[in-house]
Structure 1
């Protein structure tokens, strides 16, 4: 019992210290808020299929769970359900990073990362044509805040967290005062809406309660419906705007990483309301679709070969890949310098992007990327519609095809005939079935129940470690 008593004392001290630290943080943030002015930037560059592109992400839901939610169903009835949309890793932060820059650089964690300045982002693409952009992070204490989190100052519940803020991860943004002040909060959003100063590209992140992370899919979906419904009646916001409503990742890591996603907004033709699009997409498709819509270059990473939203592809004259997702998981980040953990696939070097492809959007590679990496071979086959790594056996043997040519990820780089394709897919399926059987066997291992007293001790120890020792 002495150990338990000691842990309880430490836990109490840790909780008190954590609250005190958060209150000090609140005071500091209030002072900074008074002196930090949000940056406003608006533009009017016409696009092929839309004039604004906004994303709103919720957290951690398997496809089936989200699809069965009544509020998600109502939102889907207003737009296009993307039935084959995949996240590109676990945990949360790798997906936010990927959606902003075309890669997650091996990230398999939610740590405080600062990505070097020579890694380009979607902001660099938009800047080439003067297309305005911003982020709106709910409960961000002031524009450009770079702290790891900012809790509710009354209840001390989680509110803003850095791991859900894609662009602040990049030094090219965080080291630029003007760009940094384009990362704003929801109060700033409503100011911009009222003043008709909205950007043409924006990323919206609800707080940890409203995004379903600390609540559930029912709560988060109700919040999302309320938020979007109000905006539907604002013609300035809605007209020719394309909204992507999606999730960062699936909840069950043992399943594939398919996530429920919806396109809606004034840019969606009324005849497509309530329809389904079965095209394969990933978080990288957001970048590729923006590039195709505004005639922008690619980052030369996994956005290069990513499929483009069909309503954009049709107007841009692009043919998307068909992907056989039977054996596709996309549950693991590929090797890179941001991987952590004893079992991680850490690689000290940063992945080299492509510098010599036309890419999905058809406008080549960003000049800054070419200048930085020209003469170096790309790390991966970035012309594929999904990420894979043959050297580690990640998502290899997956068929993708169009215009009569078929490829198997990590197997061939030239098109297969129909007969060869059938044979290869059959062999690939057998291998995947064996792997699935092994996973199922591992999943069925029974873990003995832990003694209740010991469980309390272990829980307290873990809480102290996570909350106190790691938060100093």
Structure 2
């Protein structure tokens, strides 16, 4: 009598492969394509037929005995030959189906909705790359009077009803990249600018997560970022929170542990005094999909004036990142917040070869209410990214400014 652990081999016809029969327990067949079908006896007289580890057939039968082995082997062989073949005919290389389960077909309405979403994504794609430059603390009325900022406004889409979200600076920077300030604006104003290190969890994601997951990339450029190894040893306050003209609160991606731990090589130091700094090198090679540029405290106007900030932006776009390097790149020049006005209205302009000239813009479209969340939503839509929070999900994307 054959013991339960014993087995025998039988070669099947043609080139199917080999049958391995386990007495009273199971039968296994493997073909030359290395697919495996296996009979498995179960409780209460049931048995399964598995294909590559997934149930293909289920039946109720008394437990197998040696005299049932060969008939079941024949059934199993049929399962290996016929079922995978029929399954393969209905599969694509990237979509596996279980031939033993009912196939779900999309309704006409579902297909229509999917097509509409695809069309919407295509319609929302206007630029290949985006560069966001953030200046500091100036009311809209003052910024638009600066000759250099006014000249930029005359070249693209200058929004007359664009508002920052909070006072002071730090909550706005967080909102620009994360879709929320995580409640930091509710702290007393004198501590609201104190930086935090948000944990690397699902509740503290940034647009960097969305970009990386989608196969795109990001970089945070920071003028005069202190030299240091990667990753930096960051405490609740950066060791170089204030050093020279650099402040960490204007470099929002550094507030997230995920960036600190996984992507700190994408936080790039820019020596503004060097004609061959890392931004210049990247600009000549081609920027990544998403770039966030934080000027130092002199260039952004924080410790100087809007006149200095406007002159710096003009020089930056004329010399550091000239038009010949900007093909396909949307440049956004904005401010973190107003100078203190309650309505928080700020200067924001879109520039690029995909943006209609100022003379072609619709004043009504430029006068719509927009915020930092609107910019985030526009970038997300352009790259087909899922919004991060209800704030950017519910924000109005910026439309009607494109060629």
Q: TM-score, normalised by structure 2?
A: 0.60
Q: Could you tell me which runs of 5 or more consecutive residues in structure 1 were left unpaired when the two chains were aligned.
A: 1-45, 153-157, 316-472
1:272 and 1:140, CA in 2 relative to 1: closer, same or farther beyond 3 A?
Answer: farther
Q: Please name the residue that 1:285 is paired with.
A: 374
Q: Please name the residue that 2:6 is paired with.
A: none
Q: What is the 5 A alignment of 1:161-240?
A: 161-176=247-262, 179-186=263-270, 187-194=277-284, 196-230=285-319, 233-235=322-324, 237-240=325-328
Q: Please name the residue that 2:172 is paired with.
A: 95
Find out whether 1:303 has 2:392 as its counterpart: yes
Q: In the aligned structure 2, how far is the partner of 1:271 from the partner of 1:69?
A: 17
Greater strand content:
2
Find out whether 1:259 has 2:346 as its counterpart: yes
What SS does structure 1 have at the residue aligned with 2:344?
Answer: coil
**Cα drift, residue 149 of structure 1:** 3.2
**Cα drift, residue 272 of structure 1:** 5.4
| Residue pair 2:157, 2:357 contacting (<8 A) in 1 also | no
**Cα drift, residue 142 of structure 1:** 3.3
**Cα drift, residue 311 of structure 1:** 4.0
Q: In the aligned structure 1, how far is the partner of 2:294 from the partner of 2:209?
A: 21
Q: In the aligned structure 1, how far is the partner of 2:208 from the partner of 2:293?
A: 15
Equivalent pairs, count: 260
Find out whether 1:77 has 2:154 as its counterpart: yes
What SS does structure 1 have at the residue aligned with 2:392?
Answer: coil
| Residue pair 2:156, 2:358 contacting (<8 A) in 1 also | no
Find out whether 1:113 has 2:113 as its counterpart: no
Q: 110, 128, 140: which one pairs with 1:51?
A: 128
Larger Rg: 2
What SS does structure 1 have at the residue aligned with 2:134?
Answer: strand
| Residue pair 2:157, 2:356 contacting (<8 A) in 1 also | no
Find out whether 1:139 has 2:228 as its counterpart: no
| Residue pair 1:232, 1:265 contacting (<8 A) in 2 also | no
**Cα drift, residue 304 of structure 1:** 0.8
| Residue pair 1:59, 1:212 contacting (<8 A) in 2 also | yes
**Cα drift, residue 93 of structure 1:** 0.5
Q: In the aligned structure 2, how far is the partner of 1:136 from the partner of 1:272?
A: 32
Q: In the aligned structure 1, how far is the partner of 2:280 from the partner of 2:360?
A: 27
1:275 and 1:245, CA in 2 relative to 1: closer, same or farther beyond 3 A?
Answer: farther
Find out whether 1:104 has 2:181 as its counterpart: yes
| Residue pair 1:57, 1:205 contacting (<8 A) in 2 also | yes
**Cα drift, residue 185 of structure 1:** 2.1
Q: What root-mean-square deviation, in Å, do the aligned CA atoms of Structure 1 and Structure 2 show? A: 2.4
| Residue pair 2:167, 2:340 contacting (<8 A) in 1 also | no
Q: Please name the residue that 2:144 is paired with.
A: 67
| Residue pair 1:285, 1:303 contacting (<8 A) in 2 also | yes
Q: Please name the residue that 1:434 is paired with.
A: none
**Cα drift, residue 232 of structure 1:** 6.0
What SS does structure 2 have at the residue aligned with 1:64?
Answer: helix
Q: In the aligned structure 2, how far is the partner of 1:311 from the partner of 1:231?
A: 29
What SS does structure 1 have at the residue aligned with 2:126?
Answer: coil
Per-residue CA deviation, residues 414-468 of structure 1 (Å, 9 max, x unaligned), is: xxxxxxxxxxxxxxxxxxxxxxxxxxxxxxxxxxxxxxxxxxxxxxxxxxxxxxx
1:60 and 1:79, CA in 2 relative to 1: closer, same or farther beyond 3 A?
Answer: same
1:251 and 1:233, CA in 2 relative to 1: closer, same or farther beyond 3 A?
Answer: closer
Per-residue CA deviation, residues 19-61 of structure 1 (Å, 9 max, x unaligned), is: xxxxxxxxxxxxxxxxxxxxxxxxxxx9711101111010001
What SS does structure 2 have at the residue aligned with 1:54?
Answer: strand
